[in-house]
A and B are shown apart, each in its own frame.
Chain A
């Protein structure tokens, strides 16, 4: 794989330091994959070095230095193939558009983007692709001080429903244009915020119809058997096999969090479903109903349907 002249120059300049780093890593871990490191340098670091050179040439050395060290750590972590590809993508598709931000604070920015992408990918119900596309689109509005909060707000919008409160607070600290762009809204942030806070199903495009959540573990989903549901104060408790979770949902998605068996049985039992949502078998359909959410579950499906409830 051919490297750009920019990266070749920086690697040559810091060769003894980088060689020592790799030697240390190889000694510390007998299975250290030097081929994976070579790929990481070519696929992730090279485009980033070129992008930074274009916007802040005096920072290229710092970015390469941080990027190389982080790549060594990531190779040492021996990420699975899929997760490694995701890191490749987030550096190329998000860090490159954010080159000016990365140039300013290379190590925290790259670590933040990498960790966030891996977290989103590991969270059932969250859309990491959506997050990456939106972060790239927001790049012209983001600086080093607003990167963290912008990433959090966009993560909420990408399906991390449990971040709702924190994301609203994070957005309050952003410039109005950035906060609105992160949410995908127009007008005044105060008005948008009030609408979001008042109704979990509100979106700038209108009321959300709800979401479908779940899947069989054999196909990568979270449920080993068709889930049972019960209504709790902070969401809906879901039990599948020996595992219990709390389903938190809003207009932008749903996420599942560990809960105890005790919490499940202390919650309100499901009732016969008042209606049949499309996509679930009608037989023996039950629903857990909270103040603003109804979750349909069927003994014949590994999915649940989450819809707004205005009872």
Chain B
């Protein structure tokens, strides 16, 4: 062991101090914790997984990554704010522990076994960061390097997945008898595909099967892959590259993080790297490595993180904003952007017909699509992971706000012709997708607060009433409830423009009405 291990210093726990719980257990071994390591050997299993994840994060930002950008900001009180430059952009010195998205999001992808895409120009450490994640999962550096798939224009399915054994190809009497030499990377719990946008389209389809369905197929032979965290890199976020990335493959990516620029003020750290000939992946401290069981526990713990109903309602309200496209459908259920897209009609033509709504106020007009179920599941998964990492007891609104832009970056597409982007103060949102998405969520929350939906949401009250169950409910009560629904629908549609949340509310009311109608029919059939 190096006698002066700067590169292996792990932040002392707790990294996010919180008051202890009522049942305190003062550990006397704590006496010997301090600036000097090796005072007493750490007890195995003593570190909690969220603490270990934070220690991994802090090791990466403090040691492995030079000049991290703290762009995920938390506040626990007033924070100094400064307006800078002609654009008067806001610089905040956050009052609470804040994080670097470039390190944090890949770690959250690790903790949720999700798929993370690193984007950014060449030489910004995308591949090195992906490599670090592989080593965090306990694999030797050499093994991670060898298992990394490098996209190139000649990459075949056999290069990616494996080859049939030549002897079997000659001797086999049936396809079933041909054995395949599967590529070792398929069995790893962290999979890395470098420059995935240089892979030919046909091979991308094979990759899609592995990414989406967790199995590989060659000549009818199947290889079941273990659940894994995926890290892909690309120089171009927009799907460009040697080959256009197929949409289904892009859609499988859960989170996109951008490698931000290097701050030359940290050049001295770079010089140390050169002089010491140190590569971070070679010196990851063993204290922050996760074995397979720990990753399983991590994934389970993240899933178990509660999502309070008041936060869920804000996510629902946000997601409601984007799918509605009134002129696209003649049937109420079909008035969606997806209907317009599938029809093949020119987008500008459809939006031109969208009159009546305030296109500046309606945030739904800023996008050309809505959110898919997969997007929402990913958002919830990452919000839970963020809360877990942050040491929270449940997902907070801030957790959702922080992860949302990174999850939706490649999913919610801005409509550059929307009036919102025409305003001079919003010009930067055309190029800064992360800032735009965060702003979008803030606007949605402002509208949610304006409508006072936390306290006054009659549709929610009807849904809760229905959720209590139908068992033993008499016809009279059911008819009363249906009348209430009809009245509410009549009230909601009276003299109001149709916005996304209202569209979803009305569909929800229709759903409830239909359930009661069916129940009524069933009751009638029993008598």
Contacts and interface: CB of A to CB of B under 8 A. Distances in A.
Interface of A: 21, 24-25, 27-30, 69-70, 72-74, 76-77, 79, 107-108, 110-112, 114-116, 118-120, 148, 151-152, 155-156, 160, 162-163, 165-167, 169-170, 232-234, 244, 246, 248, 257-260, 263
Of all A-B residue pairs in the complex, the 9 with the closest CB atoms, nearest first, are: A166-B28, A115-B34, A111-B36, A111-B39, A162-B26, A260-B19, A69-B3, A112-B39, A258-B19
A165 B39 contact: no
Contacts of B31: 115-116, 119-120, 151-152, 155, 160, 163
A163 B28 contact: yes
Given A115-B32, A118-B35, A76 B6 contact: yes
Interface stretch (B103-111, B268-276, B384-392, B461-469): B268-276
Nearest to A263: B22
Interface of B: 3-4, 6, 17-20, 22, 24, 26-40, 268, 271-272, 275-276
Contact of B28 (A76, A77, A115, A167): A167
Contacts of B29: 166
Nearest to A242: B77
B24 A112 contact: no
Contacts of A107: 38
A249 to B, nearest CB: 13
A234 B3 CA distance: 42
A244 B20 CA distance: 11
A116 B35 CA distance: 10
Given A27-B275, A74-B35, A114-B36, A257 B20 contact: yes
Contacts of A111: 32, 34, 36-39
A112 B18 CA distance: 26
B26 A112 contact: no
A101 to B, nearest CB: 14
A112 B40 contact: yes
20 contacts: A27-B275, A28-B276, A29-B6, A30-B268, A70-B36, A76-B4, A108-B38, A108-B40, A111-B32, A111-B39, A115-B34, A115-B39, A116-B34, A119-B34, A120-B31, A148-B40, A152-B31, A166-B29, A170-B28, A259-B20
A32 B19 CA distance: 35
Nearest to A260: B19
A246 B24 contact: yes
A15 to B, nearest CB: 15
B4 to A, nearest CB: 5
B4 A166 contact: no
Contact of A263 (B19, B28, B40, B271): B19
Contacts of B271: 27
A163 B276 contact: no
A115 B268 contact: no
B33 A257 contact: no
A108 B42 CA distance: 12
B19 A119 contact: no
A45 to B, nearest CB: 14
Given A24-B4, A24-B276, A148 B32 contact: yes
Nearest to B22: A263
Nearest to B278: A28
Most A C-beta atoms less than 10 A away, residue of B18, B19, B28, B268? B28
Given A108-B38, A165-B26, A259-B20, A116 B32 contact: yes
A21 B32 contact: no
A119 B30 CA distance: 9
Nearest to B271: A27
Contacts of B24: 162, 234, 246, 257
A79 B34 CA distance: 12
B17 to A, nearest CB: 7
B35 A77 contact: yes
Nearest to B30: A119
Nearest to A156: B28
Given A108-B38, A258-B20, A28 B6 contact: yes
Contacts of B272: 27-28
B304 to A, nearest CB: 22
Contacts of A114: 34-36, 39
A23 to B, nearest CB: 9
A77 B4 CA distance: 12
A38 B518 CA distance: 87
B22 A233 contact: yes
Given A28-B272, A72-B4, A76-B6, A166 B35 contact: no
A195 B37 CA distance: 36
Nearest to A66: B3
A28 B66 CA distance: 13
A163 B317 CA distance: 51
B110 to A, nearest CB: 28
A232 B32 CA distance: 28
A120 to B, nearest CB: 8
A118 B35 CA distance: 9
Contacts of A110: 36
A244 B32 contact: no
A151 B20 CA distance: 25
Nearest to A153: B28
A233 B20 CA distance: 14
Contacts of A116: 31-32, 34
A108 B39 contact: yes
Contacts of A74: 35-36
Contacts of A246: 24
Contacts of B20: 257-259
Given A233-B22, A259-B20, A263-B19, A73 B36 contact: yes
A166 B24 CA distance: 13
Most B C-beta atoms less than 10 A away, residue of A111, A156, A165? A111
B4 A25 contact: yes
Nearest to B36: A111
Given A27-B276, A28-B6, A30-B268, A112 B22 contact: no
A29 B32 CA distance: 26
A201 to B, nearest CB: 19
Given A119-B31, A258-B20, A69 B38 contact: no
B283 to A, nearest CB: 13
A166 B35 CA distance: 22
B19 A244 contact: yes
A119 B33 contact: yes
A234 B21 CA distance: 11
A72 B37 CA distance: 13
Contacts of A248: 26
A30 B272 CA distance: 10
B35 A112 contact: no
B402 to A, nearest CB: 24
Contact of B36 (A29, A115, A163, A263): A115
B4 A73 contact: yes
Contacts of A152: 28, 31
A298 B35 CA distance: 38
A69 B32 CA distance: 18
Nearest to A105: B38
